[in-house]
């Protein structure tokens, strides 16, 4: 039987916060021409366009996705395109259409074209206030209060169904809030933990949209990328959970993050003006139990609050000095 020697990967949502960095890492690992970045509307960054193929597609349109899968002979999809928690609450109908419609399209294409593997990120937004908020376990009650969370729970069940019914090798992690210095986040409840660094460096002041004591689970981008790649590289026999794996890294409150930033920028001042996102944050876990991911495929994050803060400040200060912030 004919077998391709190299993976051909499609990344949807490639201009987003995670996609912009994950695409570059995948290109580094598999070769630029083997990783097709798919964006939507937003102008792609220079590195994304110069390091490999780039296409614009609307993931809610199956024919547009299918055209790229055929044209590039895609066998693996990292499906990141989505509407996040805060923007999803502003337009829940569109959040359902984008998040569920696109996942259904990707899974159907995986089934019809026999794709080798699909990665689709879920979120800690699957949990609601009924779930234990400390050390939230892998298997617990899932009653989210946002449309974003509803689409993530439904999405997890759909992934599990496509695996059981059709053998589609789809893999997923429940990401916490992702912190990164390259591409700003796209409208989530944990976005403060990125904005605060930009404002600390540019203005030495920040007004936080969550209360000072709101503890949420977070993860630094290198660990976020590591989780996706390690999960996708793992032997199929090790993937025992086909809904989505809890993955944890760091949990902290805005006040704790401010104290850490002040070690590097002592004059930094933070004020607090909670808005509608406070209610979303209050319905989410504070800490996550990820022992199942650690056991099954060896998940092990590297960054803690101190090392993440040091690295973020170093990277953003450099960009500020070069006039690129």
Ligand X SMILES: NC(=O)c1ccc[n+]([C@@H]2O[C@H](COP(=O)([O-])OP(=O)(O)OC[C@H]3O[C@@H](n4cnc5c(N)ncnc54)[C@H](O)[C@@H]3O)[C@@H](O)[C@H]2O)c1
Catalytic residues: 148
The only residue of 13, 45, 149, 301 in contact with ligand X, by rule CB under 6 A:
13
Contact 95, 133 (CB under 8 A): no
Contact 280, 146 (CB under 8 A): yes
CB of 60 to ligand X, least distance (A): 5
CA neighbor of 245 nearest in space, from 185, 176, 199, 149: 176
> Bridge-partner residues for 252, per DSSP?
216
Contact status: 217 vs ligand X (CB under 6 A): no
Question: Interacting stretch for ligand X, rule CB under 6 A, among 67-75, 76-84, 271-279, 299-307?
Answer: 76-84
Contact status: 15 vs ligand X (CB under 6 A): yes
DSSP secondary-structure letter at 145? Answer: S
Using the minimum distance from each CB to ligand X, give the nearer residue, 34 or 146: 146
The only residue of 52, 149, 185, 301 in contact with ligand X, by rule CB under 6 A:
185
CB of 167 to ligand X, least distance (A): 23
Contact status: 171 vs ligand X (CB under 6 A): no
CB of 308 to ligand X, least distance (A): 14
CB of 13 to ligand X, least distance (A): 3
Copy the structure tokens of residue 275. 């808005």
Contact status: 58 vs ligand X (CB under 6 A): yes
DSSP secondary-structure letter at 288? Answer: B
Contact status: 60 vs ligand X (CB under 6 A): yes
Contact status: 40 vs ligand X (CB under 6 A): yes
Q: Report the SS3 class of residue 246.
A: strand
> Bridge-partner residues for 205, per DSSP?
269
Residues 6+ apart with CB under 8 A from 232: 76, 78, 117, 119, 171
Contact status: 98 vs ligand X (CB under 6 A): yes
Contact status: 248 vs ligand X (CB under 6 A): no
CA neighbor of 15 nearest in space, from 54, 52, 50: 54
Using the minimum distance from each CB to ligand X, give the nearer residue, 86 or 115: 86
Contact status: 86 vs ligand X (CB under 6 A): no
Distance CA 310, CA 266 (A): 14
CB of 188 to ligand X, least distance (A): 5
DSSP secondary-structure letter at 213? Answer: T
CA neighbor of 187 nearest in space, from 82, 261, 322: 82
Contact status: 44 vs ligand X (CB under 6 A): no
Using the minimum distance from each CB to ligand X, give the nearer residue, 42 or 211: 42
Q: Count of CB atoms within 10 A of residue 215's CB?
A: 19
Using the minimum distance from each CB to ligand X, give the nearer residue, 59 or 115: 59
Phi first, then psi, for residue 219 (nearest 5°) are -155, 140
> How many chain residues are in contact with ligand X, going by CB under 6 A?
29
Phi first, then psi, for residue 207 (nearest 5°) are -110, 115
Contact status: 117 vs ligand X (CB under 6 A): no
Question: Interacting stretch for ligand X, rule CB under 6 A, among 7-15, 233-241, 252-260, 313-321?
Answer: 7-15
Residues 6+ apart with CB under 8 A from 1: none
What residues make contact with ligand X under the rule CB under 6 A? 12-13, 15-19, 40-42, 57-60, 80-84, 98, 121, 123, 175, 177-178, 185-186, 188, 190
């Amino acid at each position: 039987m004919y077998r391709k020697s190299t993976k051909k990967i499609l990344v949807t949502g490639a201009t987003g916060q995670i996609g912009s960095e994950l695409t570059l890492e995948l290109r580094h690992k598999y070769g630029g021409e083997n990783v097709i970045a798919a964006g939507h509307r937003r102008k792609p960054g220079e590195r994304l366009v110069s390091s490999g193929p780039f296409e614009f597609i609307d993931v809610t349109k199956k024919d547009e996705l299918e055209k790229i899968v055929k044209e590039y002979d895609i066998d693996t999809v990292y499906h990141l395109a989505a509407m996040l928690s805060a923007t999803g609450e502003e337009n829940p109908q569109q959040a359902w259409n984008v998040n569920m419609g696109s996942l259904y399209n990707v899974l159907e294409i995986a089934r019809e074209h026999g794709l080798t593997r699909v990665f689709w990120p879920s979120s800690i937004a699957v949990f609601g206030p009924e779930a234990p908020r400390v050390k939230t376990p892998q298997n617990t009650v899932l009653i989210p209060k946002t449309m974003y969370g509803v689409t993530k729970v439904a999405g997890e069940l759909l992934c599990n169904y496509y695996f059981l019914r059709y053998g589609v090798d789809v893999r997923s992690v429940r990401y916490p809030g992702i912190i990164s210095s390259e591409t700003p986040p796209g409208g989530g409840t944990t976005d403060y933990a990125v904005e605060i660094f930009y404002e600390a460096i540019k203005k030495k002041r920040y007004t936080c949209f969550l209360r000072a004591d709101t503890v949420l689970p977070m993860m630094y981008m290198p660990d976020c990328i590591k989780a996706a790649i390690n999960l996708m590289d793992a032997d199929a026999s090790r993937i025992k959970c086909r809904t989505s794996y809890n993955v944890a890294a760091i949990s902290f409150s805005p006040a704790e993050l401010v104290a850490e930033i002040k070690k590097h920028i002592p004059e930094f001042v933070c004020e607090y003006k909670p808005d509608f996102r406070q209610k979303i944050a209050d319905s989410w876990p504070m800490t996550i139990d990820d022992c199942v991911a650690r056991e099954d495929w060896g998940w092990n994050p590297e960054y803690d609050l101190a090392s993440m803060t040091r690295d973020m400040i170093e990277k953003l200060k450099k960009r500020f000095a070069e006039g690129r912030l």
